[in-house]
Amino acid sequence: MEKEFDIIVIGSGVSGMGTASSLASAGKQVAIIEEDLWGGTCPNRGCDPKKVLVSAVEAKDHIQQLQGKGINTVPKVNWPELMAFKETFTSPVPKRSKESLESAGVKTFTGKAEFIDEHRLKVNENELKAEQFVIAAGARPSILDIEGKEHFLTSNDFLSLPEMPETITLVGGGYIAFEFAAIANAAGAKVHVIQHNDRPLKAFDRELVDLLMEQLKSKGVTFHLNIEVSKIEKTSIGYSLMDDSNFQLNTDLVFCTTGRIPNTDVLKLENAGVEYDKKGITVNEFLQTSNPAIFAIGDILSKSQPKLTPVCSYEASYVVSYLTRKETASISYPSIPTMVFSGPKLAQIGVVIDESNDDYELSTIDATKWFSYHRTNEPISKVKVITDKRTGLLVGAACLNNEADELINYFSQLIEKKVSGSEVAKHIFAYPTIASDLSSLYS
C-alpha cells in the first residue's frame, strides 16, 4: 500500500525523534520509521543506561576514598540489583518514545527502511512516498573480522549483562572501554583492555590519558598496548585470546569495543542517489546529501565532529530550522565538550596542545590538594587551560577528576561566551563549589 508524506525520517534516536516531532509541530505531514528499539541508542543502550551504571562507580569510589577518614567499610556492587535499577530507566523508553511521536502527530512505522528510488521507501509491505527525507539511522557496534569473531559481545550486551563474571576483556581502548572498565572493575571483575597501538583515547590529552590509565591500573585494570588480537578460541571455561605472536589471555567474556560503524549498508542508498564513505553519509554545509531532497544527521554522518548525543540534537534542530525555512545559513558548530565517564572522569573541549606555542598558552594545574577535591580525598585532580595569547581568552580546557563532567560545561560557557578571566573574577559563585574554583583556574 502506498502512503504519501511531506517528510519521512529514518531512525528514531535522538536525531530522528527531535526532527520528526518538531517538523510535525511545524505543520508538516511526517512519518518516522524504526526497525529496532524506539528511542534509539542513547536512552536504550548508550549514554543513559551507561550513566546509571556509572552511579555505582561514583558511589564506590567516593566511599573508598574516605577509608580511614570517617568511613570504614567499602560496599560491594550487587550487579543484578544495579541492572534491575538500570532497567527501570530503559524498559519504558521504546513505548514512551513511540507514543510521544504519535501524540506529536507523527505517523510511525516499525520495520527496516530501504530506498526504492529518490522518492519512495519500502518498509515491510508498505511503500512510503515523500518529497523530502531525513536519514537519522545511526551506527552500530563494529566487530573485528578475526577468527572466532562470533564470540565477541558488544556494548549492547554489556549494558544488559545479567551477571558480572570474574574476568572480562575489552578489545579496543576508546570511550566505551574506559567507561566499561571502570564499571566492571567497581563491580568486582578483573578487567583487561587491549589496544592495538600505544594511543588509547587518541583524541584526548595524552598526559591525562596516561594518568587515567594509572588510576585504573591502581584499581586492578590491566592494559595491553600494541597487541592486535587475531583469534578467539572457546575453551572449557571461557575464551582464549591470541595475537600472531606470543600473546595469550584467558577471559570469561570478551567485548569488541573498537568503534561503531554507520548503518549505511542497509538503506539501499544507491537507489536514491545518496553518496557515502566508510565513515558515513557525506553531506554539504546544510546537511544535505548528494541528493538535495535527502538530508542526513547524527551518527550516520561522515563528519569531523564527535558522534555524540548533544551533537545529534544540535543537527536535528538545525535541519528542522532549515526545512521550515527559519534558517538558511550553513550549519556552524560551537566548541563541543567530550567526556569519558571513567573513574576518574576525563573531559576536554576546544584547542588541545601538549605545550605552549606562538599562539596559545598552556597552563597545567595540579588541583589534587585543592579544597574541592581534597575534602573527598580524590586521588587526582588535574586541569589544563589553554588561552589565546593575543586575546587572553580561554580557547580550550581538559580535566581529569571526579567532577570533570560538571567542570567542562563551565569551561564550555566561558569559551562560547568569550568570557575573560577578569570577568570571571567579578562573579560571585556559591562557595565552596566546583564553580567557585573557576577564578583560580582561569584568571
Ligand X SMILES: Cc1cc2nc3c(=O)[nH]c(=O)nc-3n(C[C@H](O)[C@H](O)[C@H](O)COP(=O)(O)OP(=O)(O)OC[C@H]3O[C@@H](n4cnc5c(N)ncnc54)[C@H](O)[C@@H]3O)c2cc1C
Ligand Y SMILES: NC(=O)c1ccc[n+]([C@@H]2O[C@H](COP(=O)([O-])OP(=O)(O)OC[C@H]3O[C@@H](n4cnc5c(N)ncnc54)[C@H](O)[C@@H]3O)[C@@H](O)[C@H]2O)c1
For ligand Y, the binding residue among 177, 294, 385, 386 (CB under 6 A) is: 177
* 179 annotated ligand binder: yes
Asked whether 346 and 404 are in contact (CB, 8 A), the reply is yes
51 is annotated as contributing to ligand binding? yes
Which of 8, 12, 146, 351: binder of ligand X (CB under 6 A)? 12
Rg over alpha carbons for the chain, rounded to the nearest Å, is 23
157 binds, among ligand X, ligand Y, none (CB under 5 to 8 A by kind): none
Q: Which does 196 bind (CB under 5 to 8 A by kind): ligand Y, ligand X, none?
A: ligand Y
Q: Judged by CB, which is closer to ligand X: 348, or 387?
A: 348
| CA-to-CA dists, residue 227 to 129, 145, 192, 195, 243, angstroms | 49, 15, 12, 6, 7
As a whole number of angstroms, the distance between CA 219 and CA 161 comes to 22
* 3 state SS of 312: helix
CA 249, distance to chain mean position in Å, is 28
Q: Which does 348 bind (CB under 5 to 8 A by kind): ligand Y, ligand X, none?
A: none
68 in a labelled binding site: no
Phi, psi torsion values for 358, nearest 5 degrees: -60, -30
User: From the list ligand Y, ligand X, none, which binds 243 (C-beta under 5 to 8 Å, kind-based)?
Assistant: none
Q: Which of residues 102-131 bind ligand X (CB under 6 A)?
A: 112-113
Which of residues 5, 15, 94, 346 is near ligand X by CB under 6 A? 15
By beta-carbon proximity to ligand Y, the closer residue of 30 and 337 is 337
C-alpha to C-alpha distance for 118 and 132, rounded to whole angstroms = 9
Residue 10: name its binding partner from ligand X, ligand Y, none (Cβ under 5 to 8 Å by kind).
ligand X
Q: Decide: is 157 part of the binding site for ligand X (CB under 6 A).
A: no
Side-chain half-sphere exposure of 112, counting CA atoms within 13 A? 7
Which residues partner with 32 through β-bridges? 9, 108
263 lines the binding site for ligand X (CB under 6 A)? yes
User: For helices 175-186 and 206-218, what crossing angle results, to 10°?
Assistant: 20
If binding is defined by CB under 6 A, does position 343 make contact with ligand X?
no
Proportion of the chain in helix, strand, coil states, percent, rounded to 5:
30, 25, 40
Residue with cell 563551565: 410
Instruction: Tell me whether residue 237 or residue 266 sits nearer to ligand X (CB atom).
Output: 266
Q: In what helix (H) or strand (E) does residue 340 lie, and over which residues does it extend?
A: strand 338-340
Residue 155 phi, psi dihedral angles, 5° rounding: -60, -35
The answer to whether 273 is a known ligand-binding residue is no
Selected binder of ligand X within 30, 42, 287, 385 (CB under 6 A): 42
Binding residue for ligand Y (CB under 6 A) from 63, 104, 144, 225?
A: 144
Interacting residues with ligand X (CB under 6 A): 10-16, 33-37, 40-42, 46-47, 50, 112-113, 136-138, 155, 176, 263, 266-267, 298-299, 307-310, 312, 341
Residues that bind ligand Y (CB under 6 A): 144, 171-177, 179, 194-196, 200, 202, 228, 257-260, 306-308, 339-341
